[in-house]
Amino acid sequence: MNLFVWLPLLSFACVSLVMVIIFLWALKIKNNGIVDIFWAFNFLIIAFIIWVVSNGYEPRKNLVVALTALWSLRLGFYLLKRVGSHLKEEEGRYKALRLEWSDGKFFFFFQMQALSNVFLCIPFFITSLNPNGPLNVLEYIGAALWLACIVGEGISDWQLQHFKNNPANKGKVCQYGLWNYSRHPNYFFQFMLWISVTLLAISSPYGWLSILCPLSIGYLLFKVTGIPMTEEQAVRSKGEAYKDYQRTTSAFVPWFKKQ
């Protein structure tokens, strides 16, 4: 079987099984928020599969695997610390979904998360199977931007966690660091990360398929599970304080501050 077909199928089989196990655990502890942790770590599993199975130009493959693993570990351990600190209490957005969804619908949701893991790895499959070398300028730019986005996303998450760790800030809106300029700097860097992945993949055979990733991530962030759900929960929990924050701060771009 062609590796471009075999790699995604093998990857989905593995991460789908992980999500079945995690769903059963979520049922037991009554906390569906743990899906976020393992969505992040699933990229590490896929990176390992790519490293073992793919047969493209070795330096390119190793670069993609290393950056994917670094991003997966950074995000995964951050979510593990955040969600793991309150396993007995489900996050607000999942509590809201629980009022509307059955266990069967949550099972489907967990499997769709596994499918999204594989879908978002399309650029990784493309680049790791590209036999042509050496790396070109666009690939170096994409890799550098990817690394910068990992750092930027990490800084955003650290600043938010640092703010929340101060008991005096309970019930307040984080406007610390990058959060003073954007309501969602972490989402900004997450979106830019997929732009960088596209830059890295676009010059490989079938690289144009990688464009689907930032388009889909952008749609999810702006219209579905990203900004809309996060802001709805923030308004529910912080009320007028968050509405004032919305009026004075950009929803996305971290270097723009409303007057």
Question: For 11-39, what is each residue's pLDDT tens digit?
Answer: 999 999 999 999 999 999 999 999 999 99
DSSP 8-state class, residue 1? -
CB 17 within 8 A of CB 90: no
Q: What is the pLDDT of residues 79-121, one digit of tens each?
A: 999 888 888 888 877 888 888 999 999 999 999 999 999 999 9
How many other C-beta atoms lie within 10 A of the C-beta of residue 143? 21
From the number of C-beta atoms within 10 Å of its C-beta (0-12, 13-18, 19+), residue 50 rates as buried
3-state secondary structure of 224: coil
What pLDDT sits at residue 213? 93
From the number of C-beta atoms within 10 Å of its C-beta (0-12, 13-18, 19+), residue 192 rates as middle
Tokens representing 237?
A: 């929990």
Q: Distance between CA atoms of 13 and 115, rounded to whole angstroms?
A: 10
Q: pLDDT category, 76, cuts 50, 70, 90?
A: very high
Q: Write down the mean pLDDT value for the chain.
A: 90
* Range of weakest confidence among 135-149, 179-193, 198-212: 179-193
Q: Distance between CA atoms of 231 and 237, rounded to whole angstroms?
A: 10
Q: What is the pLDDT of residues 154-165, one digit of tens each?
A: 999 999 989 988
What pLDDT sits at residue 214? 92
Query: Helices (DSSP H) in the chain: which residue ranges?
Result: 3-29, 34-53, 58-84, 92-98, 103-120, 122-128, 137-164, 185-201, 212-223, 227-238, 240-248
Residue 225 has pLDDT above 80, yes or no: no
What pLDDT sits at residue 254? 64
What pLDDT sits at residue 232? 80
Segments making up each domain of the chain, as ranges: 1-135, 136-259
Residue 124 has pLDDT above 50, yes or no: yes
Cα of first residue to Cα of last residue in the chain, in angstroms, is: 58
Q: 């992040």: which residue's tokens?
A: 40
Q: Distance between CA atoms of 228 and 72, rounded to whole angstroms?
A: 24
* Range of weakest confidence among 41-45, 139-143, 182-186, 231-235: 231-235
Give percent above pLDDT 70 in the chain: 97
